[in-house]
Amino acid sequence: MVRMVVMGLCLAAGPAICSADARTGTVAAQTVAPATADAGTGAIAALGRRMFFDPSLSASGKLACSSCHDPNYAYGPPPGKAIALGGKNMDRGGTRAVPSLRYLHQVPPFAEHYHFADGDNGPGGGYTWDGRAALRREQAKLPLLAANEMANSGPTEVAERLRRSSYAEDFRRAFGRDIFDRPEAAFEAGLQALEAFQQVPSEFYPYTSKYDAFLRGQADLTDAEERGVALFKDPAKGNCASCHGTVIRDGGLPTFTDFDYINVGVPRNPKIEANADPAYFDLGLCGPARTDLATRKELCGYFRSPSVRNVAIRDAFFHNGVFHSLREVLHFYVERDIKPEKWYPRNADGSVHKFDDLPPGAPDNVDHDAPLNRKPGDSPALTDAEIEDLIAFLQTLTDGYHPGPDGS
Ligand code: HEC
Ligand code: HEC
């Protein structure tokens, strides 16, 4: 597949299609007071913040959204917690790595076919690693009700927890005195509040990395960082930008993802509880978490390409969190097809079980764009020194940079 460097489908397509903000107020708003007008700023977002940090919304009383999406880690997982425990007794394992919730404001709606100048780029958009949630308010239902996460039995239980919360009165003030007499509406109102909180720019898309400062002319890159960004963009070297887009369009800073789905051929993670069953495979777009594309075998193993902003403060990478350092990720990208024995286990007969997280007989849809375009005997797309430069660049994408007086 030929891929072009694309950034911000949203910016290209226009805010009406792209901004989740613009789309809110159309779906669940019929059941609650029309309160989305202040999305991101006012009372509703403030309520959403209270909810986001409130463990009493979970059946265990121990798990808040922030337990997995920690603001100190760009709303991604705290160290060692990428595959999180949850459930009533906090003993049910997660099946996927917790993503950062930053820079999701430009995620376009899921579509099976995204068309760019170079033609059909395949599936893109939607929330979660498999795009099964169209809106963030739909997405929030997933952790609130999942048996291995916050484990509520249904909307009524969530509404009851909200009624008993310390901010119940604020909730009534925002959504109507009788809101708790209508549990479904109270649940929807809660989802709306969580969504509004996740649209607060200073929290969720602050653009305060060194690279943003550099793009604004407020900081200089070191030589290593400069070499790193060139390798990131170079189609013959890292080629990273072809999926983790760096283009500035319509004045918007880069997203570092094109929101597309690709099968990178990530190795199976034996530490995921569900993987103890050899018949279980997390295949992204074709299921089992997502159900509408189950028959589309050509989409098995496809996961949404994440933004690499703030990636340097993660300690688990890819949808199944199998790798634990950027160095490992980058060596995997360039050695997957050169030294598969380093990355995949062996079969009983001693042969390498390449792509061991895809079921036997799965169609060959693993990506072979650079740097994943080598074969045994070839030299890797990046040398060790180039990998270090790329890491230096990725580290400039961490939010919270304060330019020194000399711009260093
Ligand atoms: C037990 C850990 C855990 C808790 C608690 C949790 N999440 Fe998540 N969150 C995850 C995981 C894992 C994923 C990826 C899910 C998937 O791909 O199926 C995710 C995905 C998301 C996404 C989609 C991100 C993207 O890149 O598309 C959003 C938004 C989100 N969570 C918001 C929330 C909110 C709001 C809450 C509280 C109501 C919450 N989460 C509670 C673990 C958690
Ligand atoms: C062909 C598209 C493509 C190319 C080229 C590509 N990536 Fe990715 N990248 C993805 C996808 C898709 C994922 C998620 C795959 C998964 O989890 O199964 C991903 C995941 C990652 C992650 C893990 C992020 C996280 O939150 O877990 C990092 C880091 C990363 N890529 C960096 C890079 C770098 C650096 C390069 C260039 C050397 C690169 N990628 C090239 C598509 C691509």
Q: Is the pLDDT of residue 91 over 70?
A: yes
| Closest residue CA from atom 6 of ligand 1 | 65
User: Mean pLDDT throughout 176-191?
Assistant: 97
Distance 263 CA to ligand 2 centre (A): 10
Of the listed ligands, the closest to the CA of 366 is 2
State the average pLDDT over residues 154-181. 97
Is 13's pLDDT higher than 50?
no
333 lines ligand 2 (CB under 6 A): yes
Greater confidence (9 vs 90) lies with: 90
Residue with CA at minimum distance from ligand 2 atom 9: 305
Nearest CA to ligand 2 atom 30: 308
Residue 219 CB less than 6 A away from ligand 2: no
Residue 49 has pLDDT above 90, yes or no: yes
Provide the 8-state DSSP code for 70: B
pLDDT at site 212: 96
Shortest-distance atom of ligand 1 to CA 67? 5
Ligand 2 atom nearest the C-alpha of 262 is: 12
Ligand 2 midpoint to CA 138 (Å): 26
Residue 85 pLDDT level (bands cut at 50, 70, 90): very high
Compute the distance between CA of residue 128 and CA of residue 67 in angstroms, rounded to an integer: 17
User: What pLDDT sits at residue 20?
Assistant: 30
Write the pLDDT tens digit of every residue in 245-300: 888 777 789 999 989 999 999 999 999 999 999 999 999 999 999 999 999 999 99
Going from the Cα of 30 to the center of ligand 2, the distance in angstroms, rounded, reads: 39
Residue 117 has pLDDT above 80, yes or no: no
Residue 247: per-residue pLDDT: 83
Quote the DSSP letter at residue 182: S
- Residue among 88, 90, 149, 191 to mutate when testing ligand 1 (max atoms within 8 A of CB): 149
Amino acid at the residue 245:
G
Question: For all residues of the chain together, what is the average pLDDT?
Answer: 88
Report how far ligand 1's centroid is from the alpha carbon of 128 (Å). 7
Q: What is the pLDDT of residue 1?
A: 38
Neighbours of 323 (CB within 10 A): 22
Q: Is the pLDDT of residue 74 over 90?
A: yes
6 Cβ contact partners less than 8 Å away, ≥ 6 residues apart: 12, 116, 121, 245, 247, 258
Q: What percent of the chain has pLDDT over 90?
A: 80
What is the whole-number distance in angstroms between the Cα of residue 98 and the centre of ligand 1?
6
- Return the axis-axis angle of helices 168-175 and 183-197, rounded to nearest 10°: 100
pLDDT at residue number 137: 84
Confidence of residue 73 (pLDDT cuts 50, 70, 90): very high
At residue 406, the pLDDT reads: 62
| pLDDT of residue 164 exceeding 90 | yes
Percent of the chain with pLDDT over 70: 88
Q: Is the CB of 103 under 6 A from ligand 1?
A: no
Which residue's CA is the nearest one to ligand 2's atom 11?
305
- Enclosing H/E stretch for 144: helix 136-145
Q: What is the rounded CA–CA span in Å between residue 180 and residue 165?
A: 12
Task: Please state, in angstroms and rounded to a whole number, the distance separating the CA atoms of residues 134 and 20.
Answer: 10
Q: What is the mean pLDDT of residues 93-119?
A: 88
The reply to whether ligand 1 has any atom less than 6 angstroms from the CB of 149 is: yes
Q: Which pLDDT score is estimated for 53?
A: 98
Rounded to the nearest angstrom, the distance between the alpha carbon of 186 and the centre of ligand 2 is 39
Q: What is the mean predicted confidence (pLDDT) over 64-84?
A: 97
Q: Which ligand is nearest to the CA of 6?
A: 2
State if residue 381 touches ligand 2 by the CB under 6 angstroms criterion. Answer: no
CA distance 45 to 51: 10
Q: Whose CA is nearest to atom 34 of ligand 2?
A: 240
Confidence of residue 346 (pLDDT cuts 50, 70, 90): very high
If you average pLDDT over residues 74-95, what whole number do you get?
A: 96
Beta strands in 128-271 (DSSP E): 261-262
Cα of 381 from ligand 2 centre, angstroms: 15
C-alpha distances out from residue 251 to 11, 28, 67, 248, 286, Å: 9, 32, 34, 6, 36
Q: How confident is the model at residue 120 (pLDDT cuts 50, 70, 90)?
A: confident
Burial 99-109 (b: 16+ CB within 10 A, else e): bbbbbbbbbbb
Average pLDDT score over residue span 126-155: 94
Q: pLDDT-derived band of residue 405, with 50, 70 and 90 as boundaries?
A: low
* 181 within 8 A of 189, measured Cβ to Cβ: no
Query: What is the rounded average pLDDT of the residues 151-166?
Result: 97
What CATH number belongs to 17-108+128-204?
1.10.760.10
How many CA atoms within 13 Å lie on the side-chain side of 170?
Answer: 16
**Using a 6 Å cutoff on CB, does residue 196 contact ligand 1?**
no
State the distance from the centre of ligand 1 to the C-alpha of 130, rounded, in angstroms: 12
Question: How many whole angstroms from 157 Cα to the centroid of ligand 2?
Answer: 38
Q: What pLDDT sits at residue 38?
A: 44
With H, G, I as helix, E, B as strand and everything else as coil, classify residue 252. strand
